[in-house]
Structure 1
Amino acid sequence: MPRSRKVLLLVDFINPLSFDGAELIAQAAVEAARSAARLKKQFHQDGACVIYVNDNFGQWRSDVRTLLRECKRAGGAAAELARLLAPSKTDLMILKPRHSGFYATPLDLLLEQLAAKDLVITGLATDYCVKCTAMDAYVRGYRVAVPADCTAAESDQRKQGALMWMKEVLKARIAPSR
């Protein structure tokens, strides 16, 4: 496996948006996905690793193809997310059972094998899964960046609160992806 000091984590972007509050995050999620797609393209051009860290939505037999099909079938914002950020053949995928990408997953081992030091964490929702993943990355000694334009929450207030918390507590770099 090739080494990648810098790694892009795409958290819960492949998402059927079938939860309470999904209508509140849908448009912001599509905007964040557009920015994340540009960032992903840059990571690919730089030869850096891209890892999808996605909720398994309680489906212990779920896989990326099935999840992409569900999102496309759902239409609307879910289909747009799947279109914008469908994984490429070189991207890696981790399914997570809870909020953090590290909890009960092989993410830490994978990052160790990649010799990763810097994590750029994007995705949904800024104040839940992105924040929990960033916190777990920080306590494991990774340098964390969270591009503000590559995350979304159910309200701008919740997003901004989570971003400021990550900046202050986790020393995360919070800036636009460009």
Structure 2
Amino acid sequence: MSDVALLVVDMLNTYRHEDADKLVPQVKEIIDPLSGLISTARERDDVDLVYVNDNFGDFTADFDDIVRAALDGERPDLVEPIAPDEDYFRVLKVRHSAFYSSSLDYLLGRLDAKRLILTGQVTEQCILYTALDAYVRHFEVVVPSDAVAHIDPELGDAALTMMNTNMHADVMPAAKCLS
């Protein structure tokens, strides 16, 4: 347990959806910084690594089903570098915010987390809504701008600005998040 949690949000994706063609190029850009951040977190005892993923409306799926589907999806090359191993926390969510109808708030309380590093996809949706829910719960929020992927570039930039301005999130490169 530590007071820092690295959240990897919605990166276990089959890329079989209508926005996949817009999202994939952005995800390709964040894989290296994100996998580096995940590797650093795995090496440290003072960071809790938490994978949070949408169940995509399949309420019979468990987390391993989601991982398997993503690895068998259209872009396993975007999943393999960041795929969870057995030493991670995992939370299934049902909508945009990682907090909505999930056990995340309870888990973070048990971990005594104070600072959340939000990574993953989609900046202007799930990351933004998770940041807002984290902020109203009094977490310090960090968003590595090179470890979040957007669908719409203008909305992605606006979301980063909103998180920084309205939620006092620290927006910085992934390499600086755990330094």
Please tell me the TM-score bracket, short chain as reference: over 0.9
Shift of 1:20: 1.7
**Amino acid aligned to 2:12:** I
Match of 1:5 in 2: 3
What's the secondary structure of 2:49's corresponding residue? strand
Comparing 35-44 with 4-13, which one deviates more in the overlay? 35-44
Gaps of 5+ in 1: none
Looking at structure 2, the residues matched to 113 and 146 of structure 1 have their Cα atoms a distance apart, in angstroms, of 22
Query: Cα RMSD (Å) of the superposition?
Result: 1.2
Segments of 5+ residues of structure 2 without an aligned counterpart are none
Residue deviations 1:124-148 (CA, integer Å, cap 9, x gap): 0000000101100000000000000
Report sequence identity in percent.
Answer: 33
Q: What CA distance in whole angstroms lies between the structure 2 residues aligned with 1:136 and 1:155? A: 22
Q: How does 1:1-178 map to 2 (within 5 A)?
A: 3-47=1-45, 48-76=47-75, 79-178=76-175
Runs of 4+ displaced beyond 4 Å:
none
Q: How many residues align?
A: 174
SS of equivalent to 2:174? coil
**Residue aligned with 1:88, SS:** coil
Equivalent pair of 2:13/2:73 in contact (CA under 8 Å): no
Q: Deviation string for 1:78-110 (max 9, x for gaps)?
A: x12220111021111100001001111111110
Deviation per CA, 1:141-164: give whole Å up to 9, x if none: 000000000001113222111101
CA distance in 1 between partners of 2:69 and 2:113 (Å)? 32
3-state SS of 1:31 partner: helix
Decide which moves more: 13-22 or 91-100: 13-22
